[in-house]
Amino acid sequence: MARINLLPWRAERRKQRQKEFGVMLGLAALAGLVLWFAFNMYYNAQISGQQERNAYLEQQIAEVDTKIVEIDELDRQRARLLARKEVIEQLQANRSQMVHLFDSLVRTIPDGVILTAIKQEGEKLTLEGRSQSNSRVSTYMRNLEGSGWMTKPDLSIIEARDGVAGLPYAFILSVQLANPNAPKDEDGDGIPDPVPPVNAEPAAPVDPATPAAAPADAPAAEPAAEPAAEPAATSAPVEGGAQ
């Protein structure tokens, strides 16, 4: 006997599918929420880490800036000390320059020439005076050039003036101050050569007739040569004694 189902099965199946769709939709929404929360936590952790790195870098930059300021201050202090050292060295080198300068002025002035004024501007020395003739002034300029403490004499004015009997010519000349003891750059490398010590004694000339002294670490001579070496050493102080 055939059975006929008269119940609304289509409506029940539709409800079942709607329920399944709601469950799947809820699971998808839950999965999306979990994924969003995970991504949110990951990016927040990345941002927090980057902010910490930025803060560390800013701290290190601030420390470096502080060190740079300290280094700049040390550089300025070093520059001041070097400038002071150069001034002291210059004063030490030129402490006797005025004494030698006035001594040179006295020694170089010829007869028939007198000085009426002396003016110094830095390394330039201006001399004003009277002379008997132009040749006297030329002699004075040559003497100044050869003194060693004054160089490059430059005559600016020489003219006949009244006022001093026997000295009709007035002159004005300038010279550059020099220090013959200052280090010189003879090798042309741009660095002044070191000045030898004042108390250094010059090397004694070697006499060709005097035999050279044997080095301390030379090996001992053979026994047969010892008798001949002793008379030679004994006669060495007498010039021309060893033949």
Tens place of pLDDT per residue across the chain (243 aa): 666 666 677 788 888 888 898 899 999 999 999 999 999 999 999 999 999 999 999 999 999 999 999 999 999 999 999 999 988 887 776 676 777 777 778 888 888 888 888 888 877 888 888 888 888 888 888 888 888 777 888 888 787 877 777 787 888 888 888 776 655 555 555 555 554 444 444 444 444 444 444 444 444 444 444 444 443 333 333 333 333
Q: Name the domain boundary from 177, 212, 229.
A: 177
The whole-number pLDDT of residue 30 equals: 92
- State the pTM of this model: 0.41
Does some domain include residue 200?
no
List the domain range (segments joined by +) for residue 84: 21-93
Are both 85 and 103 inside the same structural domain? no
Same domain, 88 and 122: no
Beta bridge partners of 55: none
Q: Measure the CA–CA gap between 211 and 230, rounded to whole angstroms.
A: 13
Contacts of residue 155, Cβ cutoff 8 Å, sequence gap at least 6: 137, 141, 171, 172, 173
Residue 105: closest CA among 53, 143, 154: 143
Q: How many domains does the chain contain in total? A: 2
User: Is position 238 within any domain?
Assistant: no
Query: Do 84 and 109 have their domain in common?
Result: no
Q: Look at residue 236 in the predicted model and tell me its pLDDT.
A: 36
For helices 97-108 and 134-145, give the axis angle rounded to 10 degrees: 150
| Cβ–Cβ < 8 Å for 167, 128 | no
* 103 and 171, same domain (yes or no): yes
